[in-house]
Amino acid sequence: MQRIHDAAWRGFASDNYAGVHPKVMEALTAANGGHQISYGEDVYTEKLHRVMTEHFGVDIEVFPVFNGTGANVLSLQAMLPRWGAVICAASAHLVTDESVAPQAVGHFALLPVSTVDGKITPTTIDEQAYGFGDEHHPQPTVVSIANSTELGTVYSIDELKAIADHAHARGMFLHVDGARIANAAAHLGVSLRAITRDVGVDVLSFGGTKNGLMGAEAIVVLNPSAAPGLTYLRKMNMQLASKMRFISAQLLALLEGDLWKHNAHHANSMARRLREALDNTPGLHFTHPTQANGLFVILPPGVADELRNNFRFYDWNAQTGEVRWMCAWDTHEEDIDSFAEAIQRALGARD
């Protein structure tokens, strides 16, 4: 098939816009050909489990799945009794961007809490951690956080441990939406284990699609007692790949070496480059720290629409004029520089 899109074009709306890393394409090609046992009994999925233990330690369970919403809903469904509920940030992807999948597919309630910069704290957990034993109240069973958060911020190791300890002390489990977990680890300069298992995370939705994969995520159960039944729930929720070797091969390409770290570090550094180019620019206001690969900015009226004539990005809060700019593993320095210059020109025209 002939390419019909402009491969030089870059957007700043989502890291999902980026294509597939060449090494991942090579892995898919290598996994192709011949027959392999279906539904996860293939040699690539077996190897993925071994590689995951190198990152997260032994006695874990790994369930490759198709997408992030599936990973989150499936993880939480396994962690919850039918009467259980999830405490999460009001800005969580679970609340704002997964339609009603938690309720319609997972059949569980969400208990949102207020945050600063998208980060839950032990204090804010307690805004919803009540009603235990009350048959009229959803039973808080899991705390779910995103790292990096939906607002581009990253939890420190101390913050994560405080949350896990607080949740466990109240008889709850901790789930991490790790759609951008690699970006969080790259920002802190630590291993994936350091911000998951070592701090007390029970279940991780490990993200790959936003970090160079074609379409592959994995549920990593760090505490098997926290999520029983995933073998059956994955099939029931239509997340069991028949040709799983092609899901696992992508994750192997990311995790066998340092590709996960390289891609995430690059995306983060491109966001930092854009932030540094625009810091202290009159008429522009950053609303959150830039720690991972996303920037959140308030622009004067009309500027966003003018910029969108050439650069695609999304409104985050149309009422305040806040927009989101995302960088990806394949964002180039020239992309950042041309975008920054266009922003400055648009703002200068309104002085």
Residue with tokens 């192997």: 252
Q: From 213, 228, 255, give the residue that closes a domain.
A: 255
pLDDT tens readout for residues 213-260: 999 999 999 999 999 999 999 999 999 999 999 999 999 999 999 999
**239 & 280 share domain:** no
**125 & 265 share domain:** no
SS3 350: coil
**269 & 337 share domain:** yes
**215 & 315 share domain:** no
Q: Quick check: 291 and 148 in contact, CB under 8 A?
A: yes
**215 & 191 share domain:** yes
pLDDT tens readout for residues 180-222: 999 999 999 999 999 999 999 999 999 999 999 999 999 999 9
pTM for the predicted model, two decimal places: 0.97
Q: Which domain holds residue 344?
A: 259-348
**229 & 264 share domain:** no
**163 & 114 share domain:** yes
Return the closest-CA partner of residue 290 out of 152, 188, 147: 152
**134 & 101 share domain:** yes
Hey, which bits of the chain come out as E strands? 61-65, 84-89, 109-113, 139-146, 173-178, 203-207, 217-221, 285-286, 294-298, 314-317, 322-326
**269 & 128 share domain:** no
Residue 94 lies in a domain: yes
Say if residue 349's pLDDT is above 70.
no
Residue 15 lies in a domain: no
Q: From 229, 255, 281, give the residue that closes a domain.
A: 255
What CATH number is associated with residue 313?
3.90.1150.10
**183 & 154 share domain:** yes
In this prediction, residue 163 has a pLDDT band, given cuts at 50, 70 and 90, of very high
Q: From 226, 255, 284, give the residue that closes a domain.
A: 255
Say if residue 351's pLDDT is above 60.
no
In this prediction, residue 112 has a pLDDT band, given cuts at 50, 70 and 90, of very high
In this prediction, residue 348 has a pLDDT band, given cuts at 50, 70 and 90, of confident
Residue 3 lies in a domain: no
Q: How many domains does the chain have?
A: 2
Q: Quick check: 56 and 196 in contact, CB under 8 A?
A: yes
pLDDT tens readout for residues 20-56: 999 999 999 999 999 999 999 999 999 999 999 999 9
**225 & 119 share domain:** yes
Q: What is the pLDDT of residue 350?
A: 60
Residue 62 lies in a domain: yes
